[in-house]
Amino acid sequence: MRFIFLLPLLIFGLLAGITGFALFSTLSGTRQVEQLPSVLVERPAPDTRQPNLTEGAPEVDLSHYRGQIVLVNFFASWCVPCRAEIPMLQSLAKDLTVIGIAYKDKVQDTKAFLTRFGNPYHVVGVDLDGRTGITWGVYGIPETYLIDAQGNVLFRHAGVVDKVLIENTLRPLWETAG
Amino acid sequence: MTPEIGHFALVAALLFSLTQVIAPLWGLYRQQPTLLALTAPAQIAACIAVLVAFISLIWAFITSDFSFDLVVQYSHSQKPLIYKIAGTWGNHEGSLLLWVLILVSFGTLFCLTAHRLDTALFGLILAVQGMISSAFLAFSLLTSNPFRRLETPPIEGLGLNPVLQDIGLALHPPTLYLGYVGLSIAFAFAVAGLIQGRIDQRWARALRPWVTAAWSALTAGITLGSWWAYYELGWGGWWFWDPVENVSLMPWLIAPALLQSVRVVEVRGQFKSWTVLLAIMGFSLSLLGTFIVRSGLLTSVHSFAADPTRGIFILAILLLAVGLPLVLYAWRGPRLVTVGDFSFNSREMALIVNNGILVIATAIVLLGTFYPLGLEMFNGARITVGPPYFDATFNPIMAVGLLGMGIAGTLAWGHGGLPHAKKTLLGALLMGLVCIFVGLGFGISIAALAGLGVLGWLASGIVIDIALRVKPWQKAAGARLMRLGLPIWGMWLAHFGTAVFLAGVLGENLLQTEAIVRAQPAQEVNLGDDTVVFKGIRQTQGPNYQSLSAELQLYDAEGQEIALLYPERRFYPAENQTTTEAAIHTTWLGDYYAVLGDGDPQRGYTLRLYHKPVVAWIWGGAGLMVLGGLVSLVSRHRIPKA
């Protein structure tokens, strides 16, 4: 009986402990922040054929892009960080083919989002039920994959693509691959 | 006025608050009534001191006194007066001071109204309140002093974010804070009850109005915020599952659970330890809401690193405010256990289920809000889970909760339902099925069908309950109507408000039409059955902005003019920022919503046009909920004499 009354304290203590440890070790720099592991890295990207966001346009098929380096970016209109990412993707679009996958998002909303914040994508595939997200192992969005000319995943990044990531990680990767 | 007056008042307030903690604790320990008697005067003195500090800060904003660092950062001499005043709490330091002001004002109100409580409980409650206000005052003075002076005052301030120059947003934080801080009283009651190891009906009866008031204020605050997002952000949405929204939703979900379990303590003398735990959870979530939003921790873990002292202070307060009461709970909670005596179809059972649902819903929101933050701490990824997560988890469980709400009025305490419970249940079931059947004809999604069914069940359940109680078809219906009493009307209003809210949500989701076009002046655009004529564009000069507005004429299917709309884009030179002002034509049956995008005379202008049927019901329903809370608040809550 008494144990039940200890339970709230134990749960709180556990949460506080984990949070405190993660926060302070991250901030003090003792623990290096690492990227999420992905089983896909250095393996072929999953076969992906999606309906095109533009009605009547042909299906988006990833295998059509063999022979060039492609950036696949999962995004949605309801995702606030995705807005911040648009200018970065626009600058990347000068060097790479950027393909967008609209993840669990209504077609109308995606279109409104792209008119409002700009459209960096070569083409946008629609993943309405998030099934493609599952195949790729998407944690949450935004999430970005760099794919080489042979169709293998070179790199996966969960979170917003920023300048540092582009210059320090992405650019060296695609320059050695290309 | 100089910053020093406010600074001094703030220090004085801290000393009074500390007195308010020490006097009752020491007085009770040493059995000295004279010390104990100091508690209430200390609370009132602290309130006056904080008021002085707050007024001096408002005055500095009104007169644009740029010797205050804060005024320079967040105000501008050309800003309209109302936004100068609102600018006082439009920033971290000022809003913290407002928070403390509401806290000590509630404490004072408690002093003036709760004199029927026994002196030990009264003193302990005020001592806990004093601990909270001391912690906040120390936080304000040590890390976020609003009265920092500038040696060389600049000529002009840096202005306030133009998006925040809005009446809805000026009122949003104070209302929300009323709710957050109202829950601090429940927290103080809970901790005092744990220290005494005893909770009785008078404890519950004295507590209940505070929870009702806090919940009503939270509802009003969240509604204002949602309404603001709807008309100001130009996005047409009213709820985004944004972390900042979620942290205010969590205490809002816990408060009704608390309200109902306090009611069980009051009427049946059961659920005591659970009530105490809910009260602690409610205020912990309020603290989380206040701190997390203001510290910017939710946007990113890294905003925490920008000012580590402030962050560590916040974590320390959270740790103490949640941890200590939970230690107390583990130690004293078992004393509050009562043996339940009620049957499966009693009101107690329904309240247990309902409390369970609300707590699970809160946990779902908590997880969805903090999972991305947790992930960022462990591997630096910044991601969003967003609406799909909440649609799949939060909505179904709340739908189940709403089903219970439809028949809540028909359940009796102890054993068995009221005589008309069966009829109500059948009627509600029938109406729910009819709604689903009608919905099937339109081929809508399963989630929407479920929503319609719940709506039919909920609304008809309430109406049938009222009808079967009043029996307007029999004699003396008037007398029966009068006998019902205000509290039950408060419940019906709040529950019916939920039905209206749900109708608004479903209507907005199912019936909305929209058009996104690039148009030249004189062009016609189709919006569903209606037509919008783009008459022209013009430039004007506002008090502190330049404006570009479009004139749109709206016609219905028969060619009758409905309204003229003027969506606007404003450019604020002082902040170098552009905002969109949506033009909204609101009626009971729906809104027309127009946003002017970018463009130029050569290529035309982007227009986003929406017709949103019954969208206003979302806020109307929330308004009914608040009204329900207020109605049950004015019905007399008397604390019987000891």
Q: Identify whether B596 is part of a domain.
A: yes
Considering the domain architecture, whether residues B144 and B232 belong to the same structural domain is answered as no
pLDDT in tens, A153-163: 888 888 888 88
Considering the domain architecture, whether residues B208 and B138 belong to the same structural domain is answered as no
What is the mean pLDDT of the segment spanning B564-593? Answer: 85
| Per-residue confidence (pLDDT) for residue B305, from 0 to 100 | 54
The ipTM assigned to this model is 0.77
Arithmetic mean of pLDDT over chain A: 84
Could you say which of B327, B377, B597 has the minimum Cβ distance to residue A9? B327
Q: Identify whether B508 is part of a domain.
A: no
Q: With a cut of 60, say whether residue B630 has pLDDT above it.
A: yes
Q: With a cut of 60, say whether residue B638 has pLDDT above it.
A: no
Considering the domain architecture, whether residues B215 and B100 belong to the same structural domain is answered as no
**Higher per-residue confidence, B388 vs A30:** B388
| Per-residue confidence (pLDDT) for residue A156, from 0 to 100 | 86
| Per-residue confidence (pLDDT) for residue A46, from 0 to 100 | 87
Q: Which of B336, B369, B373, B384 to mutate to test the interface with A (most CBs of A within 10 A)?
A: B384
Query: A160 — contact with chain B (CB < 8 Å)?
Result: yes
Considering the domain architecture, whether residues B132 and B228 belong to the same structural domain is answered as no
> For a pLDDT cut of 70, what percent of chain B falls above it?
93
Q: How far is CA B637 from CA B116, B202, B486, in A?
A: 12, 10, 11
| Per-residue confidence (pLDDT) for residue B322, from 0 to 100 | 93
For residue B150, give the 3-state DSSP assignment: coil
| Per-residue confidence (pLDDT) for residue A3, from 0 to 100 | 82
- Interface touch B386/A79, C-beta < 8 Å: yes
The residue range of the domain holding B323 is 197-337+344-414
- Interface touch A1/B334, C-beta < 8 Å: yes
Which chain B residue shows the shortest CA-CA distance from A23? B377
Q: How far is CA B212 from CA B62, B182, B218, B634, in A?
A: 34, 9, 10, 10
Considering the domain architecture, whether residues B397 and B303 belong to the same structural domain is answered as yes
Arithmetic mean of pLDDT over chain B: 87
Least confident of A8-22, A72-86, B524-538, B585-599: A8-22
Query: Min CA distance, B230 vs chain A (Å)?
Result: 15
Least confident of B211-225, B285-299, B453-467: B285-299
Which residue from B53, B297, B31, B374 is spatially nearest to A139, judged by alpha carbons? B374
Q: Identify whether B428 is part of a domain.
A: no
Q: Identify whether B292 is part of a domain.
A: yes
Could you say which of A2, A16, A27 has the minimum Cβ distance to residue B305? A27
| Per-residue confidence (pLDDT) for residue B618, from 0 to 100 | 94
What is the mean pLDDT of the segment spanning B403-426? Answer: 80
Could you say which of A1, A6, A115 has the minimum Cβ distance to residue B606? A115
Q: Identify whether B427 is part of a domain.
A: no
Task: From chain A, pick out residues whose CB is under 8 angstroms from the CB of B382.
Answer: 81, 159-160
pLDDT in tens, B203-225: 999 999 999 999 999 999 999 98
Considering the domain architecture, whether residues B203 and B161 belong to the same structural domain is answered as no
Task: From chain B, pick out residues whose CB is under 8 angstroms from the CB of A2.
Answer: 330, 334
pLDDT in tens, A95-106: 889 999 999 888
Angle at the Cα of B47 from the Cα atoms of B46 and B51, rounded to 5 degrees: 115
Domain stop point among B364, B391, B414: B414
| Domain ranges (residues) in chain A | 1-33, 49-177
Query: A79 — contact with chain B (CB < 8 Å)?
Result: yes
- Rounded CA-CA distance A102/A104 in Å is 7
Beta carbons within 10 angstroms of residue B118's beta carbon: 12
Q: With a cut of 80, say whether residue B318 has pLDDT above it.
A: yes
Least confident of B86-100, B225-239, B543-557: B225-239
Considering the domain architecture, whether residues B158 and B276 belong to the same structural domain is answered as no
pLDDT level of residue A33 (50, 70, 90 thresholds): very low
CATH of domain A49-177: 3.40.30.10
Q: Which of A12, A73, A105 to mutate to test the interface with B (most CBs of B within 10 A)?
A: A12
Instruction: Please write down the HEC assignment for all residues of chain A.
Output: CHHHHHHHHHHHHHHHHHHHHHHHHHHHCCCCCCCCCCCCECCECCCCEECECCCCCCCEEHHHHCCCCEEEEEECCCCHHHHHHHHHHHHHCCCCEEEEEEECCCHHHHHHHHHHHCCCCCEEEEECCCHHHHHHCCCCECEEEEECCCCEEEEEEECCCCHHHHHHHHHHHHHHHC
Q: B359 burial class (0-12, 13-18, 19+ CB within 10 angstroms)? A: middle
| Per-residue confidence (pLDDT) for residue A122, from 0 to 100 | 93
Q: With a cut of 80, say whether residue A2 has pLDDT above it.
A: no
Considering the domain architecture, whether residues B138 and B219 belong to the same structural domain is answered as no
- Interface touch A104/B380, C-beta < 8 Å: no
Considering the domain architecture, whether residues B151 and B257 belong to the same structural domain is answered as no
Query: A35 — contact with chain B (CB < 8 Å)?
Result: yes
Which chain B residue shows the shortest CA-CA distance from A76? B386
Considering the domain architecture, whether residues B255 and B127 belong to the same structural domain is answered as no
Considering the domain architecture, whether residues B299 and B203 belong to the same structural domain is answered as yes
pLDDT level of residue B442 (50, 70, 90 thresholds): confident
Query: Min CA distance, B312 vs chain A (Å)?
Result: 10
What is the number of domains present in chain B? 3
